[in-house]
Chain A
């Protein structure tokens, strides 16, 4: 067993089977800031921790809690080391924790005589800053993730909890929001006591937004700006609120987000 070491207040050591739960906590905390990540369980991490080709290391704080991990693997056909994921608990600085992990795993992979090391930014947008510092160069931008709505009514229903959670966190505003897409609507009602989805109401709608499937998709994944969409006429808005408040509600419902997906299929 390799001996752990402390780098800038962070101890790193090879991951063990029993680390699955701690790694899952870090994954859940880290991916909260993004959209797109897959749902995982302890079993997912137990699978990650098994297999000869895997190189998994964890970072610990001074109380011995897992605050970050890196998962890499040896791809035998091309004799290449692949950094698959790095996650760091949101309470800690990503670069400070990730750097000693990458440094260590890189040297472990090099000891295994790999000819090349590789990673992709879809697994983590923060790689774009991290890996060039380790002498990696950007080699292509040709991969793309695409998304299609199959059933707009069902999708609206399914994502209503996302909007409810966001509206709940919006301070100093209560009211009724209608989101309409391809002829289907959801009604979201925020009061002092609670925020909920309504089946139907005869109350006045405070903010009604109407959009097509493509724009809904881009807003869900945080790659479109709702205000620009209003200005371009892509997003139609009817409201009794003043511009400042309606802008605030729109920005709260559709925040800018970064996309990440660590699990390919």
Chain B
């Protein structure tokens, strides 16, 4: 854990929407205060079930509890405290804030007589270690199934989403500072797709540049599995399912971060 900071844990208050939208935008992707207000109205989450961490008056962390009923066998549905929206500002991670928030978030349903809690997360998310320490048990992993109908369109949309996310992700912006490179993705089934990252934005290129900084070849399935974290880039290279035609190791490492949206060390 990094150096501790003084922080407070409190419940959500009206007026927190703007700060919370900024935090959500950084952690989950673009979110507006209006979307948050709509979600609060629709989801039946009470302000007392939303916990925020505050450092020097700044809202830096969030956890909320949504009560559901899950079948525990033979059609018997028990109330569960569904933990959701666990996130911390990238400048305030590894300081014990979210662990504290989680403890409060679990204590509250316990006091209300709820016997259990549950959550969805990613096996590759650092927070999974916190959940296990707090007594959460792995129940089931699941698989995602994809079928691409028009991959060039998916690629273009991915670049647009990256640009929108870049506006909010401080950690991503910091990492990409000064990295001005062009990338050519050659896919067996689709052909060559390319982009250039320049002046803090991803630009789709109609034609692949003559001298790209990164140039690689793979098949659609392997590439998609890498993007979704099911296959490691290095593993695909080793198995000769992906060939790097050109690329400095440091540039390839950065591109892997972009692909996987992984900015933490």
Binding site for B on A (CB under 8 A): 28, 31-32, 34-39, 77-79, 110, 113-122, 127-128, 131-132, 134-152, 154-155, 158-159, 161-162, 165-166, 213-214, 217-218, 220-223, 257, 259, 261, 263-265
Contact = CB atoms under 8 A, between A and B. Distances in A.
Given A32-B75, A146-B131, A121 B123 contact: no
Query: Chain A binding site: helix, strand, loop or mixed by DSSP?
Result: mixed
A117 B122 contact: no
Given A138-B145, A159-B78, A148 B135 contact: yes
A218 B229 contact: no
Interface stretch (B11-19, B65-73, B179-187, B209-217): B65-73
Given A149-B135, A214-B137, A115 B154 contact: yes
Contacts of B78: 155, 158-159
Contact of B143 (A79, A138, A261): A138
Given A116-B149, A144-B120, 15 more contacts: A36-B70, A38-B77, A79-B157, A137-B146, A138-B225, A139-B146, A139-B225, A143-B120, A145-B139, A145-B141, A147-B116, A165-B73, A221-B139, A222-B73, A261-B70
Contacts of B75: 28, 32
B230 interface: yes
A46 to B, nearest CB: 15
Interface stretch (B106-114, B169-177, B239-247): B106-114
B147 A116 contact: yes
B116 A155 contact: yes
26 contacts: A39-B70, A115-B149, A115-B153, A115-B157, A117-B149, A118-B147, A120-B142, A136-B147, A137-B145, A137-B221, A139-B144, A139-B224, A139-B230, A141-B141, A145-B118, A145-B140, A146-B120, A148-B117, A148-B135, A148-B136, A159-B76, A166-B73, A218-B137, A221-B139, A263-B68, A265-B68
Interface in B76-107: 76-78, 80-82, 84, 106
B240 to A, nearest CB: 19
Contacts, number: 232
A39 B151 CA distance: 38
Nearest to B84: A265
Contacts of B109: 150
Contacts of A34: 71
B119 A213 contact: no
Interface string B146-166: 111111011001000100000
Contacts of A141: 123, 141-144, 230
Contacts of B2: none
A142 B119 CA distance: 14
**Top 6 A-B pairs, shortest CB-CB distance:** A122-B142, A140-B228, A155-B115, A146-B136, A154-B115, A136-B145
A137 B144 CA distance: 8
Contact of A144 (B116, B140, B145, B224): B140
B116 A149 contact: yes
